[in-house]
Amino acid sequence: MKVFSTVHDIQKYLLEINNLHDATVGFVPTMGALHKGHLSLIEAAKKKASITVASIFVNPTQFNDKKDFERYPIQLDKDLEMLLHAGCDIVFVPTVAEIYPNGTLEKTSVPLGFIGKTLEAAHRKGHFEGVLQVVKRLLDIVQPDFLFLGQKDYQQCMVLTQLITHYQLPVQMEICTTLREPDGLAMSSRNMRLSAEERSAALQLSKSLFAIQAAYKTQPLNVLLDDQLQVLASNPLILTEYLTIVNGSTLKPITKYKANIPMVALVAAKVGEIRLIDNVILQ
Ligand code: PAF
């Protein structure tokens, strides 16, 4: 496994490989603090492409909360070990200066419409601007054939689809299902910051989503959501930001079940100090 920290070195190596083997490149962008969910993306990339590239870069421009950025878990040696075991071919670990040589103010502007205003966008001002900025830069550097993302960041996947469409980038997005702990908690780098008590409170997020999934065809959606909002509110460690059922293609809220439209239930909540998100695709 090759590890590069400069744009020059990774591009030179990728060019050499491409000239020699006519490789296809699968790219898994990460912010490190890897878990099995990330490794499942590496596994998917290895199946689809001849070369798998992962990046580890905690992008400062996508954090709306300075404390969240400062406390983001960093475990580079462990991450590299995990990537090596997973059979990743290339890891890119750039510095902030390498990603943003002209400073962080130059934004990547993509018209997002409603998906750029709702849910995560409404609760984390500037978050998607930062995600667009860093992913555009990473795609320009790595120039992959396939981009692997996790369904847990449902809205991020939609935003990055817009990025690819807007710039007509020759990359195919592959969305991989959310990996869960045996009890149902969605895997997340942030889980490692939860205390034992918070970890057990956090389980209610997936439980509420599964309760909605079990009943959305038979019970009024507003009743279902109200019930689960109450359950969440009854735990003093949980501060819910949203729990909602939306059209899976537009993110517009859905008030009534209809058989033929894509539906997703999404939740975001702070558990103690840690902000978590999760979702289930209903249909
Ligand atoms: O989902 C993430 O980990 C990040 O938002 C990403 C895509 C690596 C960009 O920094």
CA of 70 to the centre of ligand 1 (A): 16
d(CA 213, CA 198): 24
User: CB within 8 A of 70, min separation 6: which ones?
Assistant: none
* Structural domains of the chain ordered from first start: 2-176 (3.40.50.620), 189-276 (3.30.1300.10)
Ligand 1 touching residue 29 (CB < 6 A):
yes
Q: Is pLDDT of 48 > 90?
A: yes
Ligand 1 touching residue 59 (CB < 6 A):
yes
- The single-letter code of the amino acid at 65 is D
- Of the candidates 38, 123, 127, 166, the residue annotated as catalytic is 38
Ligand 1 touching residue 135 (CB < 6 A):
yes
Under a CB-based contact definition with an 8 Å cutoff, are residues 28 and 138 in contact?
A: no
Ligand 1 touching residue 31 (CB < 6 A):
yes
pLDDT at 170: 98
What's the helix, strand, coil split of the chain in %, to 5? 45, 20, 35
Q: Is pLDDT of 22 > 90?
A: no
The residue nearest atom 3 of ligand 1, judged by CA position, is 30
User: For residue range 77-129, what is the model confidence (pLDDT) as tens digits?
Assistant: 999 999 999 999 999 999 999 999 999 999 999 999 999 999 999 999 999 99
User: For residue range 239-258, what is the model confidence (pLDDT) as tens digits?
Assistant: 999 999 999 999 999 999 99
Ligand 1 touching residue 153 (CB < 6 A):
yes
Under a CB-based contact definition with an 8 Å cutoff, are residues 230 and 204 in contact?
A: no
Can you give the pTM of this predicted structure?
Answer: 0.97
Q: Is pLDDT of 20 > 90?
A: no
The yes-or-no answer on residue 166 being catalytic is no
CA of 174 to the centre of ligand 1 (A): 14
Share of the chain above pLDDT 70, in %: 100
